[in-house]
Amino acid sequence: MAQLIDGKAVAARVRAEVKAEVEQLKASRGLVPGLTVVRVGEDPASKIYVTGKKKAAEEVGFNSWEEHPDESITEDALLAIIDRLNKDPAVHGILVQLPLPKHIDSERIISAVRPEKDADGFHPMNAGKLSLGKPALRPCTPFGVMRLLQEVGCNPAGKRAVVVGRSNIVGKPMALMLLQADATVTVCHRKSDLKFEVGMADIVVAAVGVPELIKGEWIKPGAVVIDVGMNRMPDGKLKGDVEFEKAKERASFITPVPGGVGPMTIAMLMRNTLDAAKAT
Ligand code: NAP
């Protein structure tokens, strides 16, 4: 029977570490890290996420601001906001909450953020550095998964890791981080034989967005299972991408949904913003 990985507790630890470093930074350099979240329009899910991010930023002692332009803002006007934030020395991290309205080219906006202030780690420069194995601000969700693995004493070196999903924000950077940690990495997608690949894995990271796609009986006994999936079910409950009840019979460690990877994403955003401030 697997041990549960308590993402809430690990995230609280990460925030406490960040808070302690913020206090040191204030004492040694008089520097207070600043995070600005840009939220366009009234997407209800974005509002919840942004509230969580602002709360965490305040908890760790950052200055935190929100830019909240109307849904009808033009791309040029949004670029002007980004340009102002890029030039503001009090702002060390800029996060553009996705999705943006359809008339705005998200890639153009993300690319306009200065890479040194790219708290989400989505800028092409940071993505490129990650693929080159160079230090960079890293996408928060896979960065959080690496911390969870570390917390349960799972060193990926020499292990077979299977990442299901190849999105630019989770699957691909996850695979690169595991590779950098010396795992042998396989990335799966719609054309993959999931049962075969998952069955070979010492570490399984599921980032798909299909409830319980990864069957418990596929899991290699003793594997570490990390479920990034967050699927809202008709009854309002959240379900992961892994068939949790059966997978936990075979895994050594497993993340629950909710309470596994979810809380880590915001905690690692705090870590990225602190690192961005320290680098100035
Ligand atoms: P995404 O952009 O939709 O990518 C999904 C990936 O899964 C794609 O690469 C897709 O393959 C693959 N896939 C979909 N159906 C599949 C199937 N039947 N068999 C095999 N592969 C399949 O999703 P995402 O943004 O990476 O998010 C994935 C999940 O993580 C979602 O549930 C999301 O809510 C969750 N998430 C959680 C957090 C968090 O903080 N915990 C953060 C981000 C995302 P193809 O490339 O072949 O289409």
Query: Tokens 């890029």 label which residue?
Result: 86
> Does the CB atom of residue 210 touch ligand 1 within 6 A?
yes
At residue 260, the pLDDT reads: 98
Q: Which of 43, 41, 39 is nearest to 96 (CA)?
A: 39
Which member of 118, 120, 202, 227 is catalytic?
120
Cis bond upstream, residue 256 (ω within 30): no
CA dist., res. 231 & res. 238, Å (int) = 5
CATH level 3 topology of 30-115: Rossmann fold (3.40.50)
Residue ranges, the chain, pLDDT below 70: none
Q: Name the token pair of 38.
A: 């840009």
- Pick the atom of ligand 1 nearest to 189's CA: 21
CA dist., res. 263 & res. 10, Å (int) = 9
Same fold? 30-115, 140-262: yes
Ligand 1, residues 5, 208, 244, 261: which to mutate, most atoms within 8 A of Cβ?
208
Give the distance (Å) from ligand 1 centre to CA of residue 22. Answer: 34
- With beta carbons less than 8 A apart as the criterion, state whether 180 and 138 touch: no
> Does the CB atom of residue 169 touch ligand 1 within 6 A?
yes
At residue 115, the pLDDT reads: 98
At residue 52, the pLDDT reads: 94
Taking only the tens place, the pLDDT of each residue in 192-247 is 999 999 999 999 999 999 999 999 999 999 999 999 999 999 999 999 999 999 99
Q: Where are the domains of the chain?
A: 30-115, 140-262
Taking only the tens place, the pLDDT of each residue in 112-133 is 999 999 999 999 999 999 999 9
- With beta carbons less than 8 A apart as the criterion, state whether 37 and 95 touch: yes
Angle between helices 7-29 and 262-278 (to 10 degrees): 20
Instruction: Output phi, psi for 164, to 5 deg.
Output: -100, 115
- What pTM does this model have? 0.97
Report the chain's mean pLDDT, rounded to a whole number: 97
At residue 253, the pLDDT reads: 98
102 catalytic? Reply is: no
* Span between the terminal Cα atoms of the chain, in Å: 47
Share of the chain above pLDDT 70, in %: 100
CA dist., res. 149 & res. 226, Å (int) = 9
- Per CATH, the homologous superfamily of domain 140-262 is NAD(P)-binding Rossmann-like Domain (3.40.50.720)
120 catalytic? Reply is: yes
Cis bond upstream, residue 258 (ω within 30): yes
24 catalytic? Reply is: no
CA dist., res. 164 & res. 186, Å (int) = 8
CA dist., res. 59 & res. 18, Å (int) = 10
